[in-house]
């Protein structure tokens, strides 16, 4: 209800209070006083008086944009009444009623839109005014487009290789799932959470609004590629930001060391880092990974043909053929190698003498590629890369709790994904798996005291979820920091749907050689999802 009031605040106040108070202004502008007292119509007539398009009415239901819209309408009405003082126009936006009542009096006449009588040319604005007006309207338009329709996004890491590649530039659709209105409406335009150049915070938390999403035309579906706010980014360190999650530092170093050596900060939901993964499971699903095979509701899940996996390749000690290119580094005594067919950051298998003679390689590639590697004369065997080498920390995986033991990147679950309106019993297993969602995402307090669960100060035996949740995984299945590490993504963290690749460039090559022309214009959900 609070947010519904916020959404309707300006339409209601403007239509029911501001404009009826201005009945004489309407009459001075040649309209009927009754027009000022008729909801909705009074807005349309106001727009007509100040010579603005009637479609502006639609902006009244868009939070944040409606503030700018109403402010502009009030200022334009003051100009039409002959107000020339810039500081008064500014104050009118903050406290409109005294100004509107003033110009509603008998001592003031309506001049015309732009402060000029009808039929006379508008005076040329000062240069600074033209620039200010142009920038203001450009910011309003760009903010509306970015919030309601689409936003640009760049693929920063290899977690979705080779479906979405490092250097892909995407437009992310907001209208598919419905635009999410801001939690922090006071923010520097176009900056996410940090000011460019200065590196300071780009938003204010003076006003924080609850979650609300305008209607979209579809729900998040299995196998959608989704941009979302990083759930574990609610708390982070100033030193590492989201590069090394705060919760990883806390688990590995302990609370005392972490708070003594790092500066801790928090971020609201809409200012957390943007991630992109594939939604492999939706609310109500059960997920399991068994021997690197993903199961959803006990059925083998669809797998993108571009998905990559990590393999342990054993050779007879001889070099790979000269035409095989591999990108490599080391993992203790085992050579870690990532097979790449079209990357430029490569080394041929004719390593310098200090690297020759190794027989084990970690190769990350598609199933199609590994089948070709198996045919090479120096390859003895190919197996999935062992879990104990991928990440030996048993608590690295969500829910990061000793009670849930033995889950790994290749063997994970079974885990149920929370669904809005569904109830779970509070027991040790569910407390381990769902307490973060209950406390951090849904705003409750939950403790285990003397054998009882205390929910919001009251003894409880069950909990009913308020939101839907989603399970996100990267297509680069064994090299992806995803839900297996930090858990489910709440619906209020969903930003939008990956839509179209408008530019793609290999960051290790220059222009034009590095531009991947074959990827430009690709609608990702027409190519990289099941038919």
Q: What is the mean pLDDT of the chain?
A: 81
Neighbouring residues of 13: CB distance < 8 A, sequence distance ≥ 6 = none
Q: 23: part of which helix (H) or strand (E)?
A: helix 23-28
| SS3 state at 157 | coil
Asked if residue 308 lies in contact with residue 161, where contact means CB atoms within 8 angstroms, the answer is: yes
465-485: per-residue pLDDT in tens? 999 999 999 999 888 889 999
Q: Is the model's pLDDT at 242 over the cut of 70?
A: yes
Measured between alpha carbons, how far is 139 from 65 in angstroms, rounded to an integer?
10
Q: What are phi and psi of 312, to 5 degrees?
A: -100, 110
Q: Is the dihedral of CA 419, 424, 426, 432 positive or negative?
A: negative
Rounded Cα distance between 339 and 445, Å, is: 48
pLDDT at residue 125 in the model: 60
What is the average per-residue pLDDT within 110-121? 72
Flag the least confident range among 211-220, 395-404, 506-515: 506-515
What integer pLDDT is reported at residue 39 of this predicted model? 81
- The beta-carbon contacts of 390-399 under 8 Å, at least 24 apart in sequence, are 390/310, 390/478, 393/252, 395/251, 396/248, 396/485, 397/484, 397/485, 398/483, 398/484, 398/485, 398/486, 398/487, 399/432, 399/433, 399/436, 399/487
pLDDT digits (tens, 9 = 90+) for 388-400: 656 667 788 999 8
The whole-angstrom separation of Cα 369 and Cα 386 is 19
Residue 369 CB partners (closer than 8 Å, separation 6+): 339, 341
Tell me which of 245-259, 319-333, 419-433 is least confident: 319-333
pLDDT above 50: residue 514: yes
Contact 274, 227 (CB under 8 A): yes
Query: How would residue 120 be classed by pLDDT, with cut points 50, 70 and 90?
Result: low
Does the pLDDT of residue 440 top 80, yes or no?
yes
Q: Which residue has the higher pLDDT, 78 or 133?
A: 78
pLDDT of residue 54: 84
CA 134 to chain centre: 29
Task: Note the pLDDT of residue 209.
Answer: 84
With beta carbons less than 8 A apart as the criterion, state whether 217 and 231 touch.
no
Higher-pLDDT residue of 493, 12: 493
Please give the residue that has the higher pLDDT: either 113 or 486.
486
- Round to whole Å and give the CA distance between 117 and 317: 90
Contact 347, 337 (CB under 8 A): no
pLDDT of residue 350: 34
Instruction: Please state whether the peptide bond connecting residue 256 to the residue before it is cis, i.e. omega within 30 degrees of 0.
Output: no
Q: Confidence class of residue 196 from pLDDT cuts 50, 70 and 90?
A: confident
What's the predicted TM-score (pTM) here? 0.77
* Residue scoring higher pLDDT (47 or 462): 462
Percentage with pLDDT > 70 across the chain: 81
Q: Tens of pLDDT along 39-93?
A: 888 888 888 888 888 888 877 766 666 767 777 788 888 888 877 776 776 676 6
């Amino acid at each position: 209800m609070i947010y519904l009031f916020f959404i309707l605040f300006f339409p209601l106040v403007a239509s029911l209070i501001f404009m009826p108070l201005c009945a004489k202004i309407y009459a001075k502008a040649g309209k009927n006083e009754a027009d000022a007292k008729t909801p909705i119509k009074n807005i349309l007539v106001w727009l007509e008086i100040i010579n603005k398009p009637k479609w502006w009415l639609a902006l009244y239901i868009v939070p944040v944009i409606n503030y700018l819209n109403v402010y502009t309408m009030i200022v334009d009405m003051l100009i039409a009444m002959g107000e020339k003082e810039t500081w008064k126009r500014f104050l009118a936006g903050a406290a409109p009623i005294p100004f509107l009542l003033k110009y509603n009096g008998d001592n003031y006449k309506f001049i015309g839109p732009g402060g000029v009588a009808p039929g006379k040319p508008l005076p040329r604005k000062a240069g600074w005014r033209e620039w200010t007006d142009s920038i203001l309207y450009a910011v309003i338009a760009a903010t509306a487009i970015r919030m309601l329709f689409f936003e640009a996004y760049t693929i920063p890491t290899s977690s979705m290789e080779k479906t979405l590649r490092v250097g892909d530039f995407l437009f992310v659709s907001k209208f598919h799932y419905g635009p999410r209105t801001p939690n922090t409406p006071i923010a520097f335009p176009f900056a996410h959470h940090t000011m460019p150049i200065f590196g300071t915070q780009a938003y204010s938390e003076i006003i924080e609004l609850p979650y609300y999403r305008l209607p979209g035309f579809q729900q998040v579906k299995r196998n959608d590629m989704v941009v979302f706010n990083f759930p574990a980014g609610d708390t982070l360190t100033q030193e590492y930001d989201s590069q090394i999650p705060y919760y990883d530092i806390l688990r590995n170093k302990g609370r005392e060391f972490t708070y003594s050596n790092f500066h801790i900060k928090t971020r609201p939901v809409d200012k957390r880092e943007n991630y992109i993964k594939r939604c492999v499971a939706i609310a109500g699903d059960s997920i399991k990974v068994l021997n690197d095979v993903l199961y959803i509701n006990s059925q083998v899940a669809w797998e993108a043909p571009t998905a990559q996996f990590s393999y342990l390749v054993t050779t007879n000690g001889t070099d790979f053929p000269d035409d095989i290119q591999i990108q490599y580094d080391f993992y203790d005594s085992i050579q870690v190698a990532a097979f790449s067919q079209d990357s430029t950051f490569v080394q041929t298998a004719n390593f310098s003498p200090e690297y020759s003679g190794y027989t084990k390689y970690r190769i990350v590639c598609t199933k199609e590629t590994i089948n070709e590697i198996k045919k090479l004369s120096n390859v003895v065997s190919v197996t999935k890369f062992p879990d104990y080498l991928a990440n030996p920390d048993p608590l690295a995986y969500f829910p990061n709790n000793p009670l849930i033991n033995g889950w790994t990147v290749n063997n994970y679950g079974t885990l149920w994904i929370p669904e809005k309106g569904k109830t779970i019993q509070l027991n040790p297993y569910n407390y381990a798996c769902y307490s973060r969602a209950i406390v951090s995402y849904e705003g409750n307090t939950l403790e285990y005291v003397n054998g009882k669960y205390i929910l919001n100060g009251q003894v409880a035996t069950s909990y009913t979820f308020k939101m839907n949740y989603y399970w996100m995984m990267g297509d680069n299945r064994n090299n992806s920091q995803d839900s297996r590490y930090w858990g489910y993504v709440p619906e209020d963290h969903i930003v939008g749907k990956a839509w179209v690749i408008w530019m793609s460039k290999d960051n290790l090559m220059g222009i034009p050689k590095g531009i991947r022309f074959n990827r430009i214009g690709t609608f990702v959900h027409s190519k990289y999802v099941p038919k």
